[in-house]
Every structure is written in structure tokens, then in C-alpha cells.
Structure 1
Amino acid sequence: MEKNSLSIKTIVAIGIGAAVFVILGRFASIPTGIPNTTIETSYAFLALMATIFGPIAGGLIGLIGHALKDAVFYGAIWWSWVIVSAFVGLFIGLFAKRLNVESGIAGSRQIVTFNIVQAAVQAVGWFLLAPILDVAIYAEPANKVYLQGIVAGLSNIVTVGVIGTILYVYYAKTRSQSDSLAKE
């Protein structure tokens, strides 16, 4: 088997992650009052999966999960936001993978780093990339899409900051710390 290929574990994680993203996006989202903009719990799950499985899995979970959610529940895929979901998963995976959540350590430094990374990535994605793509792809009015991007970005940053941090800490607690075994 080629060294750069995805493991079966990662492929399964992508499939399950995309399915959970769809379910959370549909049934665990809260309307904001801004048209077509909701508070999404699915990004907390996406951040955790990207942290555990890395950038490729994170990017594909965001891409596939968001595209499926849009197609199934809205009848059309809003590609600009799907691209941003892939961007968020990819870049959280690139940076947060260095936290090594598998080590079982979720101290203050790891939690702060996790949240700085997710907030920075989502700010770029939702405050800049999503509105620019909405204007370029769909010729949407700039004032509308920048408002949507800011509301989506802020709500996703807070959601990942709260729910994502809880998921991160509890997942880390399920892992063995590298120095937890003592020789007798």
C-alpha cells in the first residue's frame, strides 16, 4: 500500500463525519434571524474531527457534509459556503493536529491553542472567503453577504469555543497519556 494513501480508519471517519455533519446541520442548528444563517453545532464536531484525523479528513468532512446537507435539505448546493466548510476543516486540521490530542493531554495551553486556531481559521473563512465567493459566484449584494458571513463566523467561533472545547477535552480524556504507565 502506498505511504501517502488514506487509512481505512480515516476513510471511515470521513464518511461518518460527513453524515454527522449533515445530521447536526439539519437538526441541531438555531436560526439567527439573519436570512439563511444559523448557529451551527456541526462546526464543533468538524473541528474535533479535523483535530483528530487531520487536514484531509477535516476538509473532506466539511466539503461532503455541507454539500450533502444543502442538497438533501435545501435542494441546491450553495458552493461558496461549502468551500468555506472545507477550508475550515482543512486548516483547523493543519494547525490543530500539532496539539496531538491523541496524547491525552488537554491542558490550558492546548485549549487556548485550539481556540486561537479555530477562531482565526473561521474568521478568515466566514468574514472574508464566504462573502467574496458569494459575490463572485452568485452576484449577491455585498452588504447582505458580509452581514451573513460575520454572523455565521461569530456564531461558529463561539459554538466551537464552547461545544468544540468540551468535545476536545473529553476526547483527550479517553486517550492514554504517554507517561501514564509506570514500570513495576
Structure 2
Amino acid sequence: MKKDFSIKTIVAIGIGSAVFVILGRFVMIPTGIPNTNLETTYPFLALMSVLYGPIAGGLIGLIGHTLKDLTTGGVWWSWVVCSGIIGVVFGLAGQKIKLAAGEFGKKEIIRFNAYQVIGNMAVWGLIAPTLDVLIYSEPASKVYTQGVVTIIANSLSVGVLGTGLMIAYAATRTKKGSLKKLD
């Protein structure tokens, strides 16, 4: 599948952003740490990023998180930017995965999940809390604690739900060379 900006990709960005908003508003589990949830948005973002590439993933994360925050009372720009960055990370991690061709075996699962965990560590453990301190003068102990909880929650949700979504999607695709002509 081409990962350039086709009409299909632009539509995917629009629909993906809308689904991100819905999942972010209505399908999350509070962790007990203020403003930190186990999100279903990021497994969905992982699927879309692998299917449509890092630019689409980044835009879905950025637009979706902005719209979600606008519907909840205020945009938290540091985390909005990080949702865009993690969408790019997921897209880059999935560039060699041919999900649309039905390929998502053990090797791809392990490689993708290794990259997504490292990406979550960098984005939520370093970039987001550092931006919170720099932009909003938040207490470092608070935001780095939120970051650690978010690393764990997002890595688990993408690892379990995201991997499950990708396995399910790949199973619906016809693998190249799997059809045989009948005599």
C-alpha cells in the first residue's frame, strides 16, 4: 500500500482524528494519577499509523488530541504535540510491516512492540513532562510521575490492544500468492 498523500490517506486522517476524539473522550480507564488514563486512542493510532504512514499518524494524533482537548475544556499543548510525535513513531516503526497485505507475524509483532515501547519511553517519559515544565511551569515530580504511568499504560495498551487490532486487520487481508487458480 502506498503511504503517500492520496485521497484515501486524507480521508483516513479525517476519520482517524474523529475516532481518536471519540475514544479519548469515552473509552479510557483512569489510572488514579491525575489527568493520566489508560487510553484506547493509542492502540487505534498505532493501527492507523502503520496502515497510512508516519505523516498520517502524526496528523491523526495531533488533530485528534487537539479536538479531544477542545471538547474537555482546554488544550494541553505539550501532550497534543506528543500525540503527534508518537503517531510519527508508530508510523516509522511500521514502515516495513505490510499490514495491508496480511503480513503481521511474530517477527513484525516483536519488532513493532520493541519500537513502540522505546517511543513511548522517549515521548511520555522525556518530551511530554519536559514540555510541561517549560511551557506550564508544572512541578517536575508531578509530570515525570505522570510520564512514567503513561509509558506503562500506553505501552501495555498498544502492546495488547494495538497488536490485537493489527493481527485482526492482517487476518482480513488476502496474502500475496495465497490464491490459486482452479483448473
> Per the shorter chain, which TM-score range?
over 0.9
1:97 alignment partner, SS class:
coil
Matches within 5 A, 1:2-151: 6-73=5-72, 75-151=73-149
Moved over 4 A (4+): none
Instruction: Give the whole-Å Cα distance in 2 for the aligned partners of 1:108 and 1:98.
Output: 14
The Cα offsets for residues 148-170 of structure 1, whole Å up to 9 and x where unpaired, read as 01101110100011100110000
- Count of residues in Structure 1 that have an aligned counterpart in Structure 2: 180
Contact 1:96 1:117 in 2 (8 A): no
Q: 1:158 — aligned with what? A: 156
Gaps of 5+ in 1: none
The Cα offsets for residues 46-80 of structure 1, whole Å up to 9 and x where unpaired, read as 0000000001110000000001000112x210000
Paired amino acid for 2:124: W
Contact 1:29 1:39 in 2 (8 A): yes
Gaps of 5+ in 2: none
> Which deviates the most, 151-160 or 173-182?
173-182
Q: Provide the alpha-carbon RMSD of the alignment.
A: 1.3
Contact 2:82 2:128 in 1 (8 A): yes
1:7: Cα distance to partner? 0.8
1:5: Cα distance to partner? 6.5
1:80 alignment partner, SS class:
helix
2:94 alignment partner, SS class:
helix
